[in-house]
Chain A
Amino acid sequence: MSARHILLVDDEPHVLRVLRLALEREGYVVATASDGNAALACMATQLPDVLISDIQMDGMDGRTLCPLARSTYPEHPFLILVMTSMTALDERAWARALSNTEFLEKPLSPRQLVARLARHFAALSSSPDHLSEPPHAA
């Protein structure tokens, strides 16, 4: 099985750095972007298996990016994990409207993220149909 692709989007370089190190250590292929536009550019070259995005970012923020990623690639319903510090009360509503989208609470533990991804991919491979598998991973 070829490596899973993870796209990390955050405007905090330290976060990208730590998560990249943690995920690469688990064997994932990690791409990083500092805002929504950069993330969409990354997706155009390589569709991720999981998109992990911050919400508050300079440039295009996560709130714009996630629905756009869903609508741009409707046939690839990859998992979207939204990192949120839950400061605004209505922050979850828009994400609930998106399919296959979940939250990651800040402060985020790299260990928990690794475990969350492992569960996700385990569930995917045990399910009979591989609907959410991107074509290159099939």
Chain B
Amino acid sequence: MKLNRIGIILIACALVAIGLVVSLLVVRQQDSQAAQTRIKGVGLVKSLSSVPLPLLRDSSGANGGVLAALLAYHDNGDFAYATIGDASGRILSEVAGRGSMTPNVPLPASAATGFGERALAAADGAPALREFYGPLADRSTGPLFVRVGFNQPRYALPAQDVSFLALLALAMFLVVPVVYLVIKREMAPLAGLSAQLRTLAAPGKANALDAANNGDVRELIDNMQDYLGQAGKRIAQLEQGALNTTADNRLLQYGSKKLNAALQSLPDGLLMLDPAGDVTFASGKIEPLLGIPMERILGQPLDDWCCDPALRSLIARFSGELRDNGRTHGGAQAFVQAVHFAPLNVEGRQLSASAQPLSGGHGTMSFGTLVVLRDVTREALARQAGNDFVAHVSHELKSPLNVIGMYAEMLADSDDESLRVESLNVIQDEIERMNALVGNLLNVSKLESGSMSPERNRVRLDDLLRDAYDQALTRAEGKGLRMQLDLPRELEAVAIDKDLFRIALNNLLTNAIKYNRPGGSVTLAARNEDNDIVISVRDTGIGIPAADQGRIFDKFYRVSEGDAPIKRGGHGLGLYLAAQIVELHHGRMELDSAPGVGSTFSVHLKIVSAPAGAAVL
């Protein structure tokens, strides 16, 4: 607001008011003077007109005539002249004040009939005049007229008016600043409001404009309009922003949910601990991994719920190092600690826990600690299985070696012929056993590494089965077993890898011989059955208890021989290998066994319809 402008306007108004008052006073004074002059002039003319001419123009007396006396009486400034003259303006007698003379102006025609007055404009050097005239009563010398002129008053102020005016002006000059100050005071909030509006309307420009604008109501309104315009724009912007924010929020929520889902579906359990050690986040996997309900974990300090000492000590140690590191290096170093433990609340599980600093912004922000719990039961079991495998294989290899060594010693020490024969037989058996084991181990290794890929050819099974039968026959007869081969006249062709399939068959036949009873029999049979060819190896041996049948094809699984009178010393690979080979041929293996009666292993293979002219090996 421009208060200065208001001040100037106030001063101007005051000056105008003073001017008006002064001019009114002057006009009034002039009016009253004119009235006085008229009274004086009219009276004078009337009184002079009744005076006889000789008396008027008597110039012989000491005092002169009446005119001269008039002059003496009235020569006080505004009296100009008194004249006796005829109608044409010729002057018979005249008295005039200082510096005045009767203008040579003819009287108007109306002068002959009555009294009148007229204004005479100022001539050169002479002031404007007001003249009163009338016919002289004394007509002794013809019609004569008396004329009395008064000087028109020039502007003049009486002294008492000057002081009044001065007082008035003083009062005005006193009142104007007071009014100005009052207005300024009243306008101050408006000025503040205006500044505020300006700031709101155009933030940043406020200071620049502040100096230039001292504010008035118009500016306030301008600012208000600016502000409203800006505010409208801002509201539109904000509404748009709100829309955008809503969209952004939804996106953010979506992203956050997605991230959370990813965290929750991680196979590992995640725990986030704030620097104070309270759990701020726990993924759903934590609950089953640790066997501790989520509500006991979330938001609680670790010591309240964690009952696994390994995990507690890991986190305690880690937090300690995190603190020390933070102190000494001024920031969390990327270090990870891990520990393996079996959770107390979950049976038979192995967990790996690793703790690492949870930091963001390139390591500048630390959110605490991230603990990752991983179920390593399978790995632990696999490692255990690997160790067991090595132990088992070593044992299986050392056992025949042990026997061979002992018998070799006996062979050297004994003279008994029967013992020497026995020794040689046992040594040969054990070498065969080792050989079979090593062969099977190699095959298993090939099978598991995937390097054993069957080369499937259409094969007539008869020859293969006959070969296997012939090989087994000598061993069976050595144990006093009967061996039978039962083949149909016509056997459909199948697509198999001959060498691999021979291993499977040999393993089945070896088992049938090994786990038979003295005087028992082994039957190798094959038959067409629907779309399958079924090859079966039936023995009349000890059979397999129902409890063991489900696991009989597992690697290294051996049926407990318990208190069986004869120990067969299998190594748990033969059936596993046979089953794997059958599976490689997309066939299936079936077992039908009764303890004490015998077992039948059946291999089902798909018949391959022969393309015309296809070679059959």
Do A and B form a real pair?
A: yes
Binding site for B on A (CB under 8 A): 11-15, 18-19, 21-22, 34-35, 37-38, 56, 58-59, 85, 87-88, 106-111
Decide if B530 is an interface residue (CB 8 Å cutoff): no
A110 touches B391 (CB 8 A): no
- Cα separation A65 to B567 with both chains bound (whole Å): 20
Closest to A21 in B: B410
- Give Cα A27–Cα B455 distance, bound, in whole angstroms: 61
Q: Which residues of A contact B104 (CB under 8 A)?
A: none
Number of interface residues of B (CB under 8 A): 28
Looking at B407, B430, B558, B560, which has the most chain A CB atoms within 10 Å of its CB? B407
Inter-chain contacts of A56 with B (CB < 8 A): 395
Residues on B with C-beta less than 8 A from A22 are 410, 413
Given contacts A59-B560, A59-B562, A87-B390, A15 and B409 within 8 Å (CB-CB): no
Whether B406 and A19, one on each chain, are in contact in the complex, defined by CB atoms closer than 8 angstroms, is yes
Q: Knowing A21-B419, A110-B406, say if A58 contacts B561 (CB, 8 Å).
A: yes
Question: Quick check: is B401 within 8 A (CB to CB) of the other chain?
Answer: yes
Q: List 23 A-B contacts (CB under 8 A).
A: A11-B567, A14-B407, A15-B402, A15-B406, A18-B407, A18-B409, A22-B410, A22-B413, A34-B567, A37-B563, A38-B563, A58-B558, A58-B562, A58-B567, A59-B560, A59-B562, A85-B398, A85-B402, A107-B405, A109-B406, A109-B409, A110-B406, A110-B413
Please, how many angstroms separate the alpha-carbon atoms of A108 and B405 in the complex? Answer: 7
B410 nearest in chain A by CB position: A18
List of A residues within 8 angstroms of B419 by Cβ: 21
Residue of B nearest to A19 (CB): B406
Q: Which 3 pairs across A and B sit closest by C-beta, in order of nearness?
A: A107-B405, A85-B398, A18-B406
Report yes or no: B390 in contact with A106, Cβ–Cβ below 8 A: no
Are A108 and B402 interface neighbours, CB within 8 A? yes
- Say if the beta carbon of B403 comes within 8 Å of chain A: yes
Known: A56-B395, A85-B395, A87-B391. A13 touches B407 (CB 8 A): no
Point out residues on B near A: beta carbons under 8 Å.
390-391, 394-395, 398-399, 401-407, 409-410, 413-414, 419, 426, 430, 558, 560-563, 566-567, 569
B402 touches A107 (CB 8 A): yes
Q: Which of A34, A107, A111 contacts B563 (CB 8 A)?
A: A34
Cross-chain contact A58 with B390 (CB below 8 angstroms): no
Partner of B406, one of A59, A87, A108: A108
What residues of chain B lie closer than 8 Å to A18, measured between beta carbons?
403, 406-407, 409-410
Interface contact A111-B394, CB-CB below 8 Å: no
**Residues of B close to A111: CB separation below 8 A:** 409, 413
Q: Point out the residues of chain A lying under 8 angstroms from B560, CB to CB.
A: 58-59
| Known interface pairs A59-B560, A59-B562, A85-B395; 11 further A-B residue pairs with C-beta atoms within 8 A, sorted by A's residue number | A12-B567, A18-B403, A18-B406, A19-B406, A21-B410, A58-B567, A88-B391, A108-B402, A109-B405, A109-B409, A111-B413
Residues of A within 8 A of B405 (CB): 107-109
Which residue of the partner chain A has the closest CB to B402?
A: A107
Q: Is the CB of B398 within 8 A of A107?
A: yes
Residue among A15, A18, A21, A56 with the highest chain B CB neighbour number at 10 A: A18
Give CA–CA (A107, B399) in the complex, Å: 8
CB-CB nearest in chain B for A85: B398
Q: How far is the CA of A38 from the CA of B413 in the complex (A)?
A: 30
B420, chain A: closest CB distance, angstroms? 12
Instruction: Tell me, rounded to whole Å, the shortest Cβ–Cβ distance linking A58 to chain B.
Output: 5
Once bound together, how far apart are the Cα atoms of A88 and B398, in whole Å? 13
Q: Is the CB of B409 within 8 A of A110?
A: yes
Cα(A107)–Cα(B401), bound, Å: 7
Contacting pair A106 B398 (CB below 8 A): yes
List, in ascending order, chain A residues with CB within 8 A of B390's CB.
87
Residue with the greatest number of chain A CB neighbours at <10 A, chosen from B409, B419, B426, B566: B409
CA distance A11 to B139 in the complex (A): 195
| Nearest residue, chain B, Cβ from A18 | B406
Central interface residue in A19, A106, A107, A111, by most chain B CB within 10 Å: A107
Q: With A and B bound together, what is the CA distance between A35 and B562 in angstroms?
A: 8
Chain B residues whose C-beta falls within 8 Å of the C-beta of A12 in the assembled complex: 399, 402-403, 567, 569
- Residue from A12, A14, A19 with most neighbouring chain B CB atoms (10 Å): A14
From residue B291, how far is it (CB to closest CB) to chain A in Å?
29
CB pair A13 B566 closer than 8 Å: yes
A109 to B408, CA, bound (A): 10
The distance in angstroms between the C-alpha atoms of A12 and B567, with both chains bound, is 7
Chain B residues whose C-beta falls within 8 Å of the C-beta of A108 in the assembled complex: 402, 405-406
Check A107 against B406 for contact (C-beta < 8 Å).
Answer: yes
Across-interface contacts of A14 in B (CB, < 8 A): 403, 406-407, 426, 430
- Report the minimal beta-carbon distance from A90 to chain B, rounded to whole angstroms: 11
Question: Is the pair A85, B394 in contact by a Cβ cutoff of 8 Å?
Answer: yes
In the docked arrangement, what's the CA distance between A12 and B403, Å? 8
Q: How far apart are the CA atoms of A85 and B390 in the complex, in Å?
A: 13
Q: Which residue of A lies closest to B388 (CB)?
A: A88
Alpha-carbon distance A11/B568, docked complex (angstroms): 10
- Tell me, rounded to whole Å, the shortest Cβ–Cβ distance linking B499 to chain A: 32
Q: Give the complex CA separation of A19 and B410 in angstroms.
A: 9
A38 surroundings in chain B (CB, below 8 A): 563
